[in-house]
Amino acid sequence: MTNQPASAVRPGPLKRLGDVIQLAFLPTDFDATMKYWIETVGVGPFFVLNDVRLDEMKYKGQPTDATFTMAIGYWGDIQIELIKTDSDAPSLYRGEYAVRDRLHHVCVFVESIAEARAACAAVGAEVIVEGKVGPDGAVIYVDPGQGPGHVIEYLQPMAGSEGLFQMMKDAARDWDGSDPVRVLQ
C-alpha cells in the first residue's frame, strides 16, 4: 500500500457485493475438528450434508464431478462450515487450494451471481470453481489475487434455502448441547 492519506484510498468493489456470512475450514481430521467446535468453542448443533455435488461444476474451467461432505453450525449470525472431500476428482479441496487446518474460504450471499462475476472480473479475481446449486442457485469460488487461503465464495442461494439456514440459526440460538450432530437427508 502506498503512503496515501486514508481519505485517498478507495475500497475495492468486492465488499459492495455483501457481508461475509460464513467462515469455512477444510480440517485434516473432520470429526475431531467438529468435536473441537462443539465442545471447546460451543458452536452447534452442526448440520451435516453428505455427498454434496454441484450441478455443472467446473474446477479451473474444466468439468469435474467432485463430491464433498459439509457440516454447518452457527456462531451467532456467522456460519462455521467444515468440509471433507469425498472424492479424488479435481476440486478446491484437493491440490494447491486444499488449505487445511486454518481458514479455507469465506462466503458471501449475493442476489446475482452475474453481478458477482462482473465485480470479480473487474479486479482480476480468478474463478476457481463454479456450479449450479439446485434449480435456480449458483456459486463461484474466486481467488482475488492472494492465492490459497484467501478464496471468497459467492453464493446465490437457491429458492427456499433461506428457510434451511434460518432453521439452523434458530437451532443454535438456544442450543443446550443435545443432539450436537444432525445429518440432513
Measured on CA atoms in the order 33, 108, 128, 105, is the torsion positive or negative? negative
∠156-158-162 over CA atoms, to 5°? 95
Predicted local distance difference test score (pLDDT) of residue 74 = 98
What backbone phi and psi angles, to 5 degrees, belong to 19? -95, 155
Q: What is the pLDDT along the chain (185 residues), one digit of tens a residue?
A: 556 565 667 778 899 999 999 999 999 999 999 999 999 999 999 999 999 999 999 999 999 999 999 999 999 999 999 999 999 999 999 999 999 999 999 999 999 999 999 999 999 999 999 999 999 999 999 999 998 889 999 999 999 899 999 999 999 999 999 999 999 97
CA-CA distances (angstroms) from residue 37 to 19, 90, 105, 184?
A: 23, 28, 17, 19
Predicted local distance difference test score (pLDDT) of residue 4 = 58
- Predicted TM-score (pTM) of this structure: 0.92
Predicted local distance difference test score (pLDDT) of residue 12 = 82
Q: What burial class does residue 135 get, using C-beta atoms within 10 Å of its C-beta: 0-12 exposed, 13-18 middle, 19+ buried?
A: exposed
Predicted local distance difference test score (pLDDT) of residue 3 = 61
